[in-house]
Structure 1
Amino acid sequence: MRLWIGFLVGLWLPLAACASALPIPEHGPALRIQGSNTIGAALGPALVRGLMIERGLLEVSSEITGRDNEQRIVGQTAAGRRVEIDIAAHGSSTGFAALKQASADLAASSRPIKDSELQELKSLGDLKSPGAEQVIAIDGLAIILHPQNPLRQLDTLQLARIFSGEAKTWKALGGVGGAIHLYARDEQSGTYDTFKELVLSRQGKRLDPTARRYESSEQLSDAVSQDPQGIGFIGLPYVRQAKAVAIVDGDSQPMLPLNSLIATEDYPLSRRLFFYLPASPNNPWAEALVEFAQSDQGQAIVAANGFIAQTVQAMAVTPNALMPEGYQALSRHAQRLSVNFRFEEGSASLDSKAHQDLGRVLDYIQRHGKTERRVTLVGFGDAKDDPARADLLSRLRAMAVRRELVKYGVTLREVRGFGALMPVAANNEDEGRIRNRRVEVWVY
């Protein structure tokens, strides 16, 4: 985490009431956040309020700006000075556009930055670097139906056919009822971008233009829950009164959007929620918010808002006959931590979230006395023409994580590789292969 030291001379006045002072601008907001509605509707404001309270501000509250999906969080110093933070939540792409136009200090996004956006914003630094690309929470896209719809699971190919308009009736899917009514987020939404990438584009399809589009997650969910023929996609906290179905991707098992499966990003429609922090110009409030979001207190706010915190926990796994025997034995004697290490595309280098998770895993291991032969790493990969090569590569990925843990005094019990077994995504494209290349952490 980059730490900002000093003040921007002439533009800011120090917030002297705080032990760790943050500056206050003479005029206007101290911080401008734009982007994802998934983040900006509730999670972003909750994190901002938490930061303000932590920093000693008084009378922290939200103000209505009169503009849809925008709000202002305000507080006062002990000396009575007003502090404002503005949040506009019109979709992830608008956050990157605002960074380019210098009308935002921090972008909130419910999808990774695109290569084109990265290129356009290169003057602000490398926004894919671990310091700039900050995963603040894990979310799962839930596929929602009316509560009385009898369907229990759908696969990603069926979803593509449904939302492209090719599958037009519930009867064609083995369900009951007439025409399928489609509900979707608006064009600017990161939720829509994620669904388009994970479901539609993978099958070479586009959203049916007859789908009803919503900027508000809550309104979309409520509309589906009142329509017996409706189906929609939504961020996990917004299932509300609707019914979520299990999802299958390729050869994966059916998975409901459960917290444990989303925390490890095994659930096919799981996704990361991001803050993107430019290196230049620096805004100390932006850096403070990112640091707060990654803290235990910030992650507690993430969980309280219905998303999946990145706090590491041990989970019992029930063995079943579909698991390799070695994995069944492991699940009978050890517990799995609620994190997977994943890698940069085409390499054995840990990605930005993995770098953040490394510290969390080390903290868990040290706090629970697991540093001496109490940890097993299990690597997985994507299918290869030669199964022996898949086995080797899965073990090498686990060894890459081992090297990092050993640096901090952890002696491992075992490192194992299971090759292309137990896929969590389809292997026929890059996105699925990246998801299958993972390392699990087990503790005794």
Structure 2
Amino acid sequence: MAAKELSALEYVVALLDGIAAENSTLCAFLDVYRDEAIVAARQADARMARGEATGVLHGVPFAVKDLIDVEGKPTTAQSSVLRNRVARRDAEVVRQLCAAGGILIGKLSLEEFGIGSPSDTLAWPPARNPWDIERIPGGSSSGCGVALAAGQVPLTIGSDTAGSVRNPAAMCGVIGLKPTYELISRQGVFPLAPSLDHVGLMTRSAEDCALMLGALKRRPFDAIADDASERKLLLGLRVGVLSHFYRRDIVADEATRSAIALAADEIARLGARLEDVDAGDLESFRQCGSTLLRVEAYAVHRDFLAQSPERYGARCREVLLNGASISAQAYVDAKRQQLDLTDRIDQLLETSEVLLTGVSAHPAARFDDEDAVNRPANQMRVPFNVTGHPALSFCVGFSPDGLPIGAQLIGRRYEEEKLLAVAAAYQRVTAWHLRHPRIALGQRDDV
């Protein structure tokens, strides 16, 4: 805003007008709070004129995934099951961002309850990838990724249970941070699987993500330092590369493998020391995460399913009902395995300060390729929901078709700042995150 001398009101109105023009095609927003946002923007400008800035996000618009409560507004989880549910109070993350001066402009689309499919027939159309509207944006925080990539909002909040922030971040070419487990309050966020659920942050740049994290953390936070301090941090930084995740356990496509390799080379040029490390069989993480997710999700939805199973989309209902068939012993075994797998990553992070791997094995699939849309593609992301370590997706290139490709950084618990500093340093010497898609309804200037 400062660079273009925009007031909060001018910025908010420009974004709202863009959403109004594009949402019928991109479908990123389920609900837009135009009147409330304009009032809040006017108030922000008045406070600024009096020298009374509210906080680090003063006058900055944000939007949240429609699993997150906003007082007096529906929280539908993009499901007919909750279509008439109205929140009684703001989720804690909404309260914190507003207290820091942020301006809430609306609710963003998702895949039903965080586990549905964009191919299901629901009351709402699925969000579409602004890089190619015939392709999915990744889920389940799909609207977050779309709105950011399309320039409709600068800050978004999603949720991440098996990669649901990092996947759309990779497929839309933006930043997606899953913080350390329970670092960010989940109060007022509709649960999927509580032992795996994380509130996640999505932005276009690592620096913006750091600002938003600073408003949300329940622990002391050091914001991203200047360029010189970043270079000092990266000098000698020990980075373990989990290349077997995308070369052996899952064979990613050539464009993805190449983009990650080039990103690793760039991080090495910045001064980091890279070496291959091995976290063991990726399938064990997938099986553990799948068991925990399905059992816990069924427990959350058991009463809803008993009353109105037909109100769920087919994919969501299938996953939930599968959880009913998993034994108590299998769940207990998975909880024990979760501890072992967490220790495995902890051990890697004793010698490596940061881990680097892939996010998704392929760029965004076409909507009409149902097998690709619904294939299990979360294996490289779910390990860090199981273990609770912070993980960040950032754009490292584009496919020959012009689709974004992401890589993933993983850190020690509560060391989100280090991940953000690495990503920020990478973004200072590359320009992938500065690319913008051509908006489906015609090119418009970014604000």
Is the TM-score greater than 0.5?
no
Name the structure with the higher helix share: 2
Higher relative contact order (CA 8 A, sep 6+): 2
Name the structure with the higher strand share: 1
Q: Compute the TM-score of the two structures, normalised by the length of structure 1.
A: 0.23
Q: Compute the TM-score of the two structures, normalised by the length of structure 2.
A: 0.23
